[in-house]
Amino acid sequence: MPHDTRADDPRPGRLGAEGRASGRTGLYLAAVALVAFAVMLGSGQQGREEAELTLDVSPEWVHLYPHALSLGGSVLLGTREARGAEATWQVLSGPGDVVFAGEGLEVEATFGAPGTYRLLVTAEAGGRTASREVTVEVVVAEADYYVSPDGSDRNDGRSIDRPFRTIRRAAAVVRPGDVVLLRGGVYNEYNVADSWRRSGEPGAPITFKSYPGERAIIDGSHVQRDPRSPNPSAPELIRIVGLDWYVFEGITFRNSAGRGLALEGSHHVVRNVVSHSNHGDGIFLNGDYNIVEDSVSYDNFSRSNGGDSADGIKVVEGTRNVIRRFLAYENSDDGIDLWDSTNSLVEYSMAFRNGRGSTGNGMGFKMGRDGLTSHNVIRFNVAFENRSHNFTDNGGGGLQVYNNTSVGAGGFGFAVRGRPEVERSLVVNNISFRDGSGVLIDVERRGGQLPDSRNNSWDLGIDDPLFASLDPDSPRFLRLRPGSPAIDAGVDMGLPYVGAAMDLGAFESVASARADEGD
């Protein structure tokens, strides 16, 4: 039809809008004509004509190798679901075998190799048959090297079919910008300093991460600790010394005879890592500009010395490190220990029930080190039920401690003091609730400055901040109930807030202070 031709006319320029508009009208007219024709056909048939059997199945899937793909859809008789329909899947073409688990339309398909597959699904119901062709594109997550517990270090590691067996092998060959994907499973390896050869570069870090949908677990339980060993922190599952710009993502470190992950360098990123049940620190940093986020460290316990060497995370030295959305619990020494680190930031993190054994310190947040003006910022964190203090300056100064919530410390909720050798600390908008010894905000020695302590729950005489829940498993844990005296009671820290002012504690409430008390 001339209308159609004109609508598809590829000539550029002047024809433009006008030509298209009239073309669209033409299509519309054609569609109306088609409907009219169908209606005529239908009315020409007998009234009891049965509805057609159709298959409602997605014609194209993109799927990540080697995971199973759930295939499905619906069989329709007319517009209704066809009862008792039987369906089968078959492979028309593809680069590998396909195994179907289950029967009928809803099956799990496992593809033997990446590539493009054409499948045919056929349905039968009420003596009618319908079929449909489906294309499945099976792709591999892109990487420079692959490592698998089933691999071999004689492979070149360059494809998912030829993975290395060990992380050590990959560590020896990586260059700046490389991504190494670790297939799921357990790696019994210790890779201390001599495993690592090169640094990444700015904008081109060297990344080790788990294959999407899988989790690599580095497990050190094959090495028995020598009970006479004087070093509770070695060997480490991974220890990188003097190299920078590495990323570790989505990996679990466990059962190390020493530390889990130790990065002694700068510009490293640790993300979505779990480190647990190691003899030394779960995570250890010694360097600058490192970022640790969305990670968890628990049950690290230096049994050889009674517990005082295993923190959830320790930043022994360095500047401008960031720890955020970090969970540290049930470690034998401290949860988050900043020690000698300066100008560092810890936010949106939680430390609880740290302090085990005969010598574990049991601080939730150790915010500095004796005699050091660190300028560390500790904000929007929660600490509860640590053996000793939930938040402590540890003898340091120049801290900014604001909008944290402390509950049930064995010792002080907050211990921040003035000393002559360090700068004054700032302590505002915090909540202390049911802490064993309350809080300690004072001048420890003559010549020290009393911390700038304002608008904390204890300054405002708030004994009960009206938490919505004291159950750590509740999504409302330590959130403020409507009517809480902590709502809008804070000083302005130049950060966003809801209502008239910042609230006290780690969680800004969306409720108004003037609302009626909730139940």
Residues of this chain that interact with Ca ion (CB under 5 A) are 311, 333-334, 337, 488, 497-499, 503
We find the least distance from the C-beta atom of residue 498 to Ca ion, in angstroms, to be 5
SS3 category, 452: strand
Question: Which residue lies nearer to Ca ion by CB, 249 or 333?
Answer: 333
We find the least distance from the C-beta atom of residue 84 to Ca ion, in angstroms, to be 59
Question: Which residue lies nearer to Ca ion by CB, 311 or 435?
Answer: 311
We find the least distance from the C-beta atom of residue 315 to Ca ion, in angstroms, to be 10
Question: Which residue lies nearer to Ca ion by CB, 33 or 495?
Answer: 495
Question: Which residue lies nearer to Ca ion by CB, 249 or 311?
Answer: 311
We find the least distance from the C-beta atom of residue 335 to Ca ion, in angstroms, to be 9
CB of 331 within 8 A of CB of 362? no
Question: Which residue lies nearer to Ca ion by CB, 211 or 326?
Answer: 326
We find the least distance from the C-beta atom of residue 501 to Ca ion, in angstroms, to be 6
Tokens of 140: 């591999």
Distance CA 377, CA 72 (A): 52
The DSSP code sequence of 75-127 is: EEETTEEPTT-EEEEEEEE-SS-EEEESSSSSEEEEESSSEEEEEEEEEEETT
User: CA 244 → CA 180, 204, 233, 338, distances in Å?
Assistant: 16, 11, 21, 20
Pairing of strands 107-111, 69-71: antiparallel
We find the least distance from the C-beta atom of residue 495 to Ca ion, in angstroms, to be 11
Which among 350, 278, 281 is positioned nearest to 315, based on CA atoms?
281
CB of 404 within 8 A of CB of 430? yes
Question: Which residue lies nearer to Ca ion by CB, 300 or 453?
Answer: 300
Residue 324 burial class via C-beta count within 10 angstroms: exposed 0-12, middle 13-18, buried 19 and up:
middle
Q: Residue 40 phi/psi, 5° resolution?
A: -60, -45
Indicate the DSSP class of residue 15: G
We find the least distance from the C-beta atom of residue 445 to Ca ion, in angstroms, to be 23
We find the least distance from the C-beta atom of residue 324 to Ca ion, in angstroms, to be 20
Q: What share of the chain is helix, strand, coil (3-state, %, to 5)?
A: 10, 35, 55
We find the least distance from the C-beta atom of residue 281 to Ca ion, in angstroms, to be 8
Question: Which residue lies nearer to Ca ion by CB, 244 or 337?
Answer: 337
Question: Which residue lies nearer to Ca ion by CB, 295 or 332?
Answer: 332
Beta bridge partners of 138: 63, 115
Question: Which residue lies nearer to Ca ion by CB, 288 or 503?
Answer: 503
We find the least distance from the C-beta atom of residue 455 to Ca ion, in angstroms, to be 12
Question: Which residue lies nearer to Ca ion by CB, 178 or 334?
Answer: 334
Where are the strands (E) in 189-319, listed by range?
206-210, 216-219, 238-241, 246-249, 251-254, 261-264, 269-271, 274-276, 283-286, 291-298, 313-319
Which among 214, 159, 229, 154 is positioned nearest to 182, based on CA atoms?
214
Distance CA 184, CA 431 (A): 42
Q: Residue 373 phi/psi, 5° resolution?
A: -85, 110
We find the least distance from the C-beta atom of residue 517 to Ca ion, in angstroms, to be 17
Q: In what order do the strands lie in the sheet with 115-125?
A: 60-64, 128-139, 115-125, 86-93
We find the least distance from the C-beta atom of residue 394 to Ca ion, in angstroms, to be 9
The DSSP code sequence of 373-403 is: B---EEES-EEES-SS-SEE-TT-BS-EEES
CB of 360 within 8 A of CB of 387? yes
Which string of b and e fits 256-276 if b means at least 16 CB within 10 Å?
A: bbbbbbbbbbbbbbbbbbbbb
Question: Which residue lies nearer to Ca ion by CB, 395 or 499?
Answer: 499
Question: Which residue lies nearer to Ca ion by CB, 172 or 498?
Answer: 498
Question: Which residue lies nearer to Ca ion by CB, 146 or 284?
Answer: 284
H or E segment and range at residue 6 = helix 2-7
Q: Which residue is nearest to Ca ion (CB)?
A: 499
CB of 260 within 8 A of CB of 233? no
User: CA 334 → CA 151, 309, 331, 361, 382, distances in Å?
Assistant: 38, 9, 6, 6, 14
We find the least distance from the C-beta atom of residue 308 to Ca ion, in angstroms, to be 7
